[in-house]
Chains A and B, each alone.
Chain A
């Protein structure tokens, strides 16, 4: 029996010829990354007592959740991060000014690459699967374990294959809608890997794949992996990658389930409040729902393509009165590119507030929290109760196109009215 992409990457990193669902393997980890919350939040692990690290060059440390520091506690966390980096000789450190949301930065800086096994102290680490890597989140204690020993254990999980066909019917339907459709129809993938295949993958941009892979954390997937096709190879070439260690699934790989999706039949989707699996609906079914805030950003949808799409929708129009439209780029690089391309100007002219690149309000940190009774329509990753502020606020999730269209009307709006399709 052949292997899935997940099984191949784990087998390679365990130094064994084959891996199958149920195996527990000890694997060498290629990249181990943590962000500021590792250092800021008390009581997680006493990292100041770490006295040696297996390979400092495999460590990445960056500040993304609370930058620039909104509180003295956050500033203190950053002080501790800088001291840790200094103590252990970690050269891959990205401070304020060259920062970005961890999952975007791992891609921009070339750490996320085909065939890699990536560990990071953040649940959306599966995002790097868009780069044909096996990546998953770990808690703070286990991140220290990986730094110290260079390895950790993996239980090989069964894999669900989504075979994608055709192409999105219009610009108004995106990778985020594909994910929300999958989560809404098929529910969770707890204790399973999710892999993507089919000729439809080739019709998806890298940014769209990043959005989907990121969001797979929300269906509790272990790994979420896209194949290494010509579109990804072109992206890697432009990034300057010298060699590509692509991992392809075997034709006779053993899948838990194979599900076919016609991209052309998808429509804009939203996730209703408080949880995602089996809780998503076509935009058409909730059109007209009033929103107080619209947020465009995060590791899911804060990239240049997302901002460009939103700018094309709001160009020459005004954000509805009574609605706060907040745009948070996913990285300093994205911010600069969006600035140069004029997208930020277009958005600001429409009444949007452009923030610094950060995780920001997505995790309820800063710059756009909600008060009681408020509803936010957001392109971010989570809609948990109280996630973005008051326990009596609501978050609904959507694509950048739906977000921009809804910011103009103040109500959940089908973006096809603005983009056609």
Chain B
């Protein structure tokens, strides 16, 4: 549960409708990922590379139950670290196997393009350029188990609830 990657920095109140816009409701999963942040940062989705890390301000994922986390995961992002994360978005992150960490103050630590090192079990984030480290919430073991399994769908298949 450790990640190292190039960061993208977003601000406060990044809501689910920006992450997973309504225009993505009636298209294929392959098309859906292209629409992430199409209203607030057009073209961004094509710049993301596998292993990149998303850094954001407060209330990331505020809004709907639509699983924005799964689009961020499919885009190739390794994880999300935000000052605070909406509770429903956080649950979706765990459910879809997309690691997320709440770490107050993280949004002030990075400039876009910096390299971050994230340790989910320890709850720490480090900026490798500045050397600054902050302590966020440690991931609980039960959440780690769901993430390790790859999310809820994988768990349900393993337990025989889904074919």
Q: A188, B58: Cβ atoms under 8 Å?
A: yes
Known: A385-B17, A386-B18. 7 other contacts (CB 8 A): A40-B25, A43-B74, A51-B161, A74-B26, A121-B65, A145-B152, A188-B58
Contact of B59 among A24, A123, A220 (CB under 8 A): A220
List residues of A (132-171) whose CB comes within 8 Å of B's CBs. 136-142, 144-145, 148-149, 153, 157
Contact status B63-A365, CB under 8 Å: no
In the bound assembly, the distance between CA atoms of A44 and B27 in angstroms comes to: 12
- When A141-B67, A382-B17 are in contact, do A43 and B29 touch as well, CB less than 8 Å? yes
Chain B residues contacting A218 (CB-CB under 8 Å) are 62
Taking a contact as CB atoms closer than 8 A, the residue among A51, A142, A149 that contacts B92 in the complex is A142
Residue in contact with A148 in the complex, picked from B25, B67, B142, B156, CB distance below 8 Å: B156
B13 contacts chain A at the CB level, 8 A cutoff: yes
Q: Whole-angstrom distance from the CB of A191 to the nearest CB of chain B? A: 6
| A-B interface contact total, Cβ < 8 Å | 144
> Is the C-beta of B8 less than 8 angstroms from some C-beta in chain A?
no
A260 lies within 8 A of chain B by Cβ: no
Interface hit among B81-89, B115-123, B127-135? B81-89
CB of A209, distance to nearest CB on chain B (Å)? 21
Please determine whether B63 and A384 come into contact, CB atoms closer than 8 angstroms. yes
Return the contact of B26 from the options A40, A49, A382 (Cβ within 8 A).
A40
Cβ 8 A contact of A385, one of B40, B65, B142, B162: B40
Distance of A43 Cα from B85 Cα, bound (Å): 23
Q: Note all chain A residues with C-beta closer than 8 A to B16.
A: 123
> Could you give, for residues 72-104 of chain B, a 1 whenever the CB lies within 8 Å of some chain A CB and a 0 otherwise?
001000000000111110011001100000100
Q: Which residues of A contact B2 (CB under 8 A)?
A: none
Say yes or no: A49 contacts B162, CB within 8 Å.
yes
Q: B108-148 toward A: CB 8 Å interface, digit per residue (1/0)? A: 00000000000000000000000000000000101000000
Q: Looking across the interface, which residue of chain A has its beta carbon closest to that of B102?
A: A191
The reply to whether the CB of B64 lies closer than 8 angstroms to some CB of chain A is: yes
Minimum C-beta distance from A137 to chain B (A): 5
Name B's A-contacting residues (CB within 8 A): 13, 15-18, 21-22, 24-29, 32, 38-40, 58-59, 62-67, 69-70, 74, 84-88, 91-92, 95-96, 102, 140, 142, 151-153, 155-157, 160-163
> Which residues of B have CB within 8 Å of A365?
22
Judge whether B15 and A220 touch: CB under 8 Å. Answer: no
Greatest chain A CB density within 10 A among B29, B66, B70, B74 is at B66
Residues in A neighbouring B22, C-beta threshold 8 A: 363-365, 386-387
Contacts A41-B66, A137-B65, A220-B87; A384 near B161 (Cβ below 8 A): no
CB pair B88–A139 under 8 Å, yes or no, is yes
Q: How far is the CA of A144 from the CA of B157 in the complex (A)?
A: 11
**Chain A residue with minimal CB distance to B61?**
A220
Q: Which residues does chain A contribute within 8 Å of B91, judged by CB atoms?
A: 138-139, 142
Contacts of A222 in B (CB 8 A): 87
- Which A residues lie within 8 Å of B92 (CB)? 139, 141-142
Q: Which of A13-45 contact B (CB under 8 A)?
A: 24, 37, 40-45
Residues of A within 8 A of B25 (CB): 37, 40-41, 73
A-B contact pairs, 20 of them (CB 8 A): A41-B25, A44-B70, A46-B153, A49-B163, A74-B26, A138-B65, A139-B66, A139-B91, A139-B96, A140-B65, A142-B92, A148-B162, A188-B59, A190-B58, A190-B86, A191-B87, A220-B62, A382-B63, A385-B18, A386-B21
A72 to chain B, nearest CB (A): 9
Give the residues from 346 to 368 in chain A that come closer than 8 angstroms, CB to CB, to chain B.
Answer: 363-365
**Would B18 and A139 count as touching, CB distance under 8 A?**
no
A254 within 8 A of B: no
CB closest residue in chain A, given B95: A141
* Docked pose: A45 CA to B163 CA in angstroms: 12
